[in-house]
Amino acid sequence: MKDKIITKASDMFLNLGFKSVTMDDLASEMGISKKTIYTHFQNKTKLVEATADHLFYQINDGINAILREQLDPIEELYAIKTFVMHHLKNEKAAPQYQLQKYYPKIHEILKAKQFDVFQDCVIDNLNRGIEKGVFRKNIDIEFISRIYFIGTISIKDKEMFPVEMFPVPKLMDNYLEYHILGITTEKGRTILNNLIKEHQV
């Protein structure tokens, strides 16, 4: 039952937001009593913590599966972006922003875990890109990997990037293109342009 609660809560939090969903909403949606939820989770904060962990590991597993495919480095970035967007329901309820605002301690722990995974993934991607001649040899890998991570977090700030002005899918596409254009060679730009055309179809 605990796993079922986490799965349903994850889905509702992603669709409606961490703040919006109450324990009553979750119990009603699952057709169980609120007491049953409290048997497994002391309070909503504990449930949010469990669902944040659950989502982190799900996304991490999916990204690792993509990394094992050993795609072209630029194609890999697009594949990861597409997977994350699909998994997070296009972030229509801005879950990460709500997590940061209403559950800051959980957000900080999650952010640290994300950074560790992100660093390994992006540094490997950058190194392979340089080896394959699609990224410039003179880029500062540590700087690029960190600035890219900060950007992926910051563009989820709905006060800075309101959804009505910046629809999430377009925002993510623009940011990824911005990141890649700053580090590509001519060979890399050709691959990027082809991918952009494919995604526009």
Give all domains of the chain, ordered by start, each with its CATH number: 44-200 (1.10.357.10)
Q: Pick the residue with more confidence: 197 or 2?
A: 2
**91 confidence band (pLDDT: 50, 70, 90):** low
Which pLDDT band, with edges at 50, 70 and 90, does 23 fall under? very high
pLDDT tier for residue 156 given thresholds of 50, 70 and 90: confident
pLDDT score, position 92: 57
Confidence band of 159 (pLDDT split at 50, 70, 90): confident
Tokens of 131: 């080896």
Is the model's pLDDT at 98 over the cut of 90? no
The per-residue pLDDT of the chain, averaged, comes to 91
Listed residue (36, 41, 44, 37) closest to 19, CA to CA? 44
Does the pLDDT value for residue 63 go beyond 70? yes
**pLDDT-derived band of residue 11, with 50, 70 and 90 as boundaries?**
very high
3-state secondary structure the chain: CHHHHHHHHHHHHHHHCCCCCCHHHHHHHHCCCHHHHHHHCCCHHHHHHHHHHHHHHHHHHHHHHHHHCCCCHHHHHHHHHHHHHHHCHHHCCCHHHHHHHHCHHHHHHHHHHHHHHHHHHHHHHHHHHHHCCCECCCCCHHHHHHHHHHHHHHCCCCCCCCCCCCCHHHHHHHHHHHHHHCCECHHHHHHHHHHHHHHHC
Structure tokens at 132: 């394959």
Question: Does residue 90 surpass a pLDDT of 60?
Answer: no
What does pTM read for this prediction? 0.88
Query: Does residue 166 have a pLDDT over 60?
Result: yes
Q: Measured between alpha carbons, how far is 14 from 33 in angstroms, rounded to an integer?
A: 22
